[in-house]
A and B are shown apart, each in its own frame.
Chain A
Amino acid sequence: MNGIKIHIVAVVFLFLAACRESGQVRVRDGYPSIYPDYLDVTIPMNIAPLNFMVRDSVEQLRVCIKGADDSIVVVGDYKIQIPEKHWKALLHAVSGGDLTVVVTAKMCGEWVQYKPFNWHVTNDKIDPFLSYRLIEPGYEVWNKLQIVERNIETFAERTLADNNLTDGCCMNCHIHGNQDGALSMFHLRGGKGGTILNRNGRLRKINTKIDGMISNAVYGNFHPSGRFGVFSTNIIIPELHAYRNKRLEVYDTASDLVVLDFDENRAILQPLLCDSTTLETFPVFSADGKWIYFCSAPAVPLPDSIKSLKYHICRVAFDADKKEIGTTVDTIWNALEMNGSACHLKTSPDGKFLLYTVADYGTFPIWHQEADLRLMNLETRTIDNLPIVNGPNSDSYHSWSSNSRWFVFASKRDDGIYGKPYFCYIDSSGKAHKPFVLPQRDPEMYDFMLKSFNIPELSSGPAPFDASDVERIYKQKEAEPFR
């Protein structure tokens, strides 16, 4: 079973007494060193079992997960696999309350019980589908790329796109509009490539490169109506740091914004946002579709002045009826005052928050250790630095759940290189809770996996296509031109 050496000796539903050890057990004052770190996390009631392993040298494990009335006992060697069916029943029974996890381990022939910890189960569900790109976290050369959709209520996974089927071309990350499975897109590069647009299950391949634009569409976001998409166009340059564990610096020597009308195959441009003296990138629509939020920085000589390249957060009005972009740009977060550079903007579906990443400089935070998430309340403009959420390495590329109570983000906190999807709960008061990593059937999987999870994106339903559909449209259809 996926290499898991787990022995589920007994799985029983019992009352609280079930977790009481019968033999000689020494109680230890300290938490077990479990991986993934699921100590005292808040979880949605529709999440898959939080299987974990213990990093201490243990010979045997006995884990008791106690709810209000029921409990599950799972036994393993150094990792456990919680039975899905019983897990779901337990979550439903305890919904809104806490699960207590008691880990007892046999070490050097002696049974030791660690300090128990809790899993807070909230009624606020998370969108059950998560798509991400699996890629080796490399430099310039890519190998096998896949866009995968995972059902996070279970461990089921399916491939939405695979570059094996598309002549090995590069494919960028898959994003949804309105967290709707039936509205999404991603870019396929290469000769037969184009932007693959999924609207209500109908796949289209569009050519987003229009005369006068500096590149194809790069970073993008859907208008709430699904009719428009706002994109940046970027000339992207990668450079290699020579110092210690610094890795890549990727910057734009030019970047502009464009809105694409998917109904009329037309580009909507605003000269103000296509200015060579200013770099604009990471555009998103507000929840009501009336604003475009984006990052903007004055152009500086690159790469020499890379450390002074700092992006503000700005916004400009958008009129969907008139198909016009406004002419006044507001700065809502000043990079110089905040001494940072903003990127990856995401507005919450309820319109209340703007979630973004701040790095010391530049526009590619995934290799910036200091890159952290920030949460801006768009009504009060107050900013939460999310200390409980951010890790010691880069935290970026986030996506909201449709109820605005959860977001997922890619974090390199474990080793600085391999990004993994973490889920964070925002309660009704706007307070963020400790995040937890996407559970896997085999909790040790992350240790041996050589792929990064890129741009995790939540959706309320599954995407209505698969890798074969993408192969077909890639090979058989010409990209629709835009004008």
Chain B
Amino acid sequence: MKIFSIDKMMAAVFGLMVFAFFAFLYPFHLNYQEQYQLFLFSADYVSSYFVKPGGLSDYLGNFLTQFYFYSWVGALLIAVLLTLLQVMVWQVSRKLGAKPVFLPFTFVPSVLFWSLLCDENYLLGGVIAMLILGVFILLCIQFRTGWERMVFLLISLPVLYWLIGGAFVLLALFVIGYELIFRQLKTGQLLTLGVAALLLVVVLPLLAKRIIQQYPLSRLCIGVNYYRFPVNVPVAIGIIGLLIASLPYLLRWLSAKLRSGKAVFLIVFQLAVVAGGGLMLIRNSADMAKEEVMAYDFNVRMRKWDRVIAMAEKKKPSTPLSVTCLNLALAKMDLLGERMFAYYQNGVGGLIPDFVRDYTIPMIAGEVYYHLGFVNTAQRLAFEAMEALPDYQKSARSVMRLAETNIINGDYAVATKYLHLLQQTFYYREWATKALQTINDEKLIDQHPEWGWLRKCRTREDFLFSEKEKDMMLGILFRQNPENRMAFEYLMAYCLLSKDLQHFVEYFPLGKSLNYKAIPKSYQEALIYVWGLTHPDPIQTIPYAIGNGVKNRVRQYQRIYTGQMNAEPALRDQFADTYWYYLHFRN
């Protein structure tokens, strides 16, 4: 056995490419996926998967997905799985008589899967299902006689149905194809066994429906959760599955047709098609805009505020959710008032997004509410995000947040419930155990740097939270705890972003309790602008402590704004980081 054969080297190179892609170009997609499941090491959790066809694939897929917590581990796992898939297709093809010259084509199913996995909603259980199918196909072709193979098929079908769901039909197609080509059975025998296999293929899902009533027949026919939205029929996966079952025959046929002297051309042609096509496919499938938002969100989740700001320094965020994350990071670093207009702002939606019934936006909005001290609203959004998951998974991130908010609120019984669940996970166990030690110990919680502070920030009187009146909610929150600088700065930012300068000026004096050393830059800009609306010489008469830099810039800004017909391009070059520019030119 050669250690460095060309097929192994190509597989290794492919694996390295997959790893590099997910580890360095696309890591936050993996973190994103990990947070939307709560993989438990408990017997009940295992059994919940095995009650339906395809459960094993889902279970193994989710088992591996939990390791996406560290994206490089996830990248490694994906690389190994996709490489294994290629190796298996190649092994089957070789057994069927494919010539080595066709090796590059055996990468096609793995490349297709790679492109699918760029979509955060494609789940790893699908790859596992195809690998299990591959193992059964490999086992099938080990048998010497057609009878043995057909008996194996008939025994395997129910087992395989339970393991990989509807994809089990591909094994039947493969074996029948095999017998048609190699003709080890007489026509009558083949027909009889073919009909028996067909019957099993039809009957098994119907039987499953009789036993497991809570799933629609369509779900029992598909089985595995290939896609996060179970209502979607995974056509792309079906095509890859068909390819896995038929590619070996195609390569055998091509090998038979191959004329000598064409090998080099064929290899180059295949490499060009697979590499070029794969590159194009993956470029089209990879959504780098989403990756950016996921990166922002991940850093917010991990409270890496400096990293969020560093990201924005490198490339200014432009999507509403990334702006939300940036604003939160700025506020956490006490920089919101000072620097928020140094970056693109898209209005109040970028400050606190409105609630929508999905599992992404409430998660990010919930972070803002949590750090502001709206503990109940943060709890609600964590719950709603988890409930919105279409594949009925629980979310580790949500459960953590629910535990935190309940600890802060002193609801220790329910917090304990969530912490006990987290203790059954791999990555969150330690955190949960530490958190459990604080339960019922008011002193420990009060001393906790985050929970203790948020306890102080909570509202002291009850009111019904109104999302439509966020400024009013922020005002109440700040009024009830005048030390809550973040609440004040969000209130000010809300007024600035909504261009509500009347309320800005009205609320501005409330910030006295926070003892600012200097008025934050964007407030200075807004104050001098407002003062200038009613006073002829605002720079001389303004009663606020406005820095000379702001005074000089407002003069320059005013000169260009009033002196040029189309001032926007000139102002954009020099003043895009000012509130004045936002006020005049951002919708």
Identity of the chain B residue whose Cβ is nearest the Cβ of A244 in the assembled complex: B409
Within 8 A of A (CB), among B372-417: 374, 376-377, 380, 383-384, 386-389, 392, 394, 406, 409-411, 413-414, 416-417
Q: Are A162 and B214 in contact (CB under 8 A)?
A: yes
Q: Are B377 and A417 in contact (CB under 8 A)?
A: no
Q: Are B384 and A140 in contact (CB under 8 A)?
A: yes
State the interface size on chain B (CB cutoff 8 A): 43
Give, as a whole number of angstroms, the nearest-CB distance from A441 to chain B.
Answer: 11
Flag the segment in B148-156, B286-294, B456-464, B555-563 that touches A. B456-464
Residues of A within 8 A of B357 (CB): 140-141
Contact of B215 among A140, A164, A417, A450 (CB under 8 A): A164
Q: Are A239 and B464 in contact (CB under 8 A)?
A: yes
Contact of B377 among A242, A244, A467, A471 (CB under 8 A): A242
Identity of the chain A residue whose Cβ is nearest the Cβ of B355 in the assembled complex: A140
Give, as a whole number of angstroms, the nearest-CB distance from A475 to chain B.
Answer: 9
Flag the segment in A9-17, A245-253, A319-327, A430-438 that touches B. A245-253
Among A140, A243, A303, A447, the most chain B Cβ lie within 10 Å of the Cβ of A243
Residues of A within 8 A of B416 (CB): 415
A271 to B439, CA, bound (A): 55
A140 to B383, CA, bound (A): 10
Residues of B within 8 A of A247 (CB): 376
A417 to B405, CA, bound (A): 13
Residues of A within 8 A of B466 (CB): 239
Given contacts A165-B214, A468-B213, contact A242 B414 (CB under 8 A): no
Residues of B within 8 A of A249 (CB): 464
A245 to B383, CA, bound (A): 14
Asked if A387 is at the interface of the complex by the 8 Å CB criterion, the answer is: no
Residues of A within 8 A of B213 (CB): 159, 162, 165, 466-468
Asked if A109 is at the interface of the complex by the 8 Å CB criterion, the answer is: no
Asked if A200 is at the interface of the complex by the 8 Å CB criterion, the answer is: no
A165 to B458, CA, bound (A): 42
Asked if A146 is at the interface of the complex by the 8 Å CB criterion, the answer is: yes
Q: Are A164 and B43 in contact (CB under 8 A)?
A: no
A242 to B460, CA, bound (A): 9
Residues of A within 8 A of B269 (CB): none
Asked if A136 is at the interface of the complex by the 8 Å CB criterion, the answer is: yes
A416 to B413, CA, bound (A): 8
Q: Are A242 and B387 in contact (CB under 8 A)?
A: no
Among B387, B406, B465, the most chain A Cβ lie within 10 Å of the Cβ of B387
Asked if B421 is at the interface of the complex by the 8 Å CB criterion, the answer is: yes
Residues of B within 8 A of A143 (CB): 386-389, 392
Q: Are A417 and B219 in contact (CB under 8 A)?
A: no
Given contacts A141-B357, A241-B376, contact A415 B417 (CB under 8 A): yes
Asked if B473 is at the interface of the complex by the 8 Å CB criterion, the answer is: yes
Residues of A within 8 A of B458 (CB): 243-244
Q: Are B376 and A303 in contact (CB under 8 A)?
A: no
Given contacts A3-B43, A162-B214, contact A242 B464 (CB under 8 A): yes
Asked if A2 is at the interface of the complex by the 8 Å CB criterion, the answer is: yes
A249 to B420, CA, bound (A): 29
* Proximity string of chain B (462-496) to chain A, C-beta cutoff 8 Å, 1 when within and 0 when not: 11111000000100100000000000000000000
Residues of A within 8 A of B215 (CB): 164-165
Give, as a whole number of angstroms, the nearest-CB distance from B51 to chain A.
Answer: 12
Q: Are B410 and A136 in contact (CB under 8 A)?
A: no
A445 to B421, CA, bound (A): 12
Give, as a whole number of angstroms, the nearest-CB distance from B27 to chain A.
Answer: 29
Residues of A within 8 A of B219 (CB): 164
* Proximity string of chain A (420-440) to chain B, C-beta cutoff 8 Å, 1 when within and 0 when not: 000000000000000000000
Given contacts A136-B387, A242-B465, A416-B414, contact A146 B214 (CB under 8 A): yes
Residues of A within 8 A of B463 (CB): 241-243
Q: Are B410 and A139 in contact (CB under 8 A)?
A: no
* Proximity string of chain B (180-218) to chain A, C-beta cutoff 8 Å, 1 when within and 0 when not: 000000000000000000000000000001000111100
Q: Are A240 and B377 in contact (CB under 8 A)?
A: yes
A280 to B66, CA, bound (A): 50
Contact of B44 among A136, A159, A418, A448 (CB under 8 A): A448
Within 8 A of B (CB), among A118-175: 136, 138-144, 146, 159, 162, 164-165
Contact of A306 among B42, B420, B464 (CB under 8 A): B464
* Proximity string of chain A (432-464) to chain B, C-beta cutoff 8 Å, 1 when within and 0 when not: 000000000000010110100000000000000
A239 to B468, CA, bound (A): 12
Q: Are B417 and A447 in contact (CB under 8 A)?
A: yes
Give, as a whole number of angstroms, the nearest-CB distance from A237 to chain B.
Answer: 10
Identity of the chain B residue whose Cβ is nearest the Cβ of A166 in the assembled complex: B216
A138 to B387, CA, bound (A): 8
Within 8 A of A (CB), among B27-61: 42-44, 47
Asked if A414 is at the interface of the complex by the 8 Å CB criterion, the answer is: yes
Residues of A within 8 A of B377 (CB): 240, 242
Q: Are A471 and B376 in contact (CB under 8 A)?
A: no
Q: Are B214 and A243 in contact (CB under 8 A)?
A: no
Residues of B within 8 A of A445 (CB): 44
* Proximity string of chain B (160-183) to chain A, C-beta cutoff 8 Å, 1 when within and 0 when not: 000000000000000000000000
Residues of B within 8 A of A240 (CB): 376-377, 380, 464-465
Residues of B within 8 A of A164 (CB): 214-216, 219
Q: Are A242 and B44 in contact (CB under 8 A)?
A: no
Given contacts A146-B214, A164-B216, contact A447 B409 (CB under 8 A): no
Among B214, B376, B473, the most chain A Cβ lie within 10 Å of the Cβ of B214
Q: Are A242 and B473 in contact (CB under 8 A)?
A: yes
Contact of B465 among A239, A245, A468 (CB under 8 A): A239
Q: Are A3 and B47 in contact (CB under 8 A)?
A: yes
Given contacts A3-B44, A447-B417, contact A138 B383 (CB under 8 A): yes
Q: Are B383 and A139 in contact (CB under 8 A)?
A: yes
8 additional A-B residue pairs with CB within 8 Å, beyond A143-B392, A246-B376: A143-B387, A143-B389, A144-B392, A240-B465, A244-B458, A418-B414, A468-B209, A471-B216
Q: Which residues of A contact B (CB under 8 A)?
A: 2-3, 136, 138-144, 146, 159, 162, 164-165, 239-247, 249, 303, 306, 414-418, 445, 447-448, 450, 466-468, 471
19 A-B pairs with C-beta separation under 8 A: A136-B383, A138-B387, A143-B389, A162-B214, A164-B219, A239-B465, A241-B463, A241-B465, A242-B376, A242-B377, A243-B459, A243-B463, A245-B406, A245-B410, A246-B376, A414-B413, A415-B416, A447-B417, A448-B44
Q: Which residues of B contact A (CB under 8 A)?
A: 42-44, 47, 209, 213-216, 219, 357, 374, 376-377, 380, 383-384, 386-389, 392, 394, 406, 409-411, 413-414, 416-417, 420-421, 458-459, 461-466, 473, 476
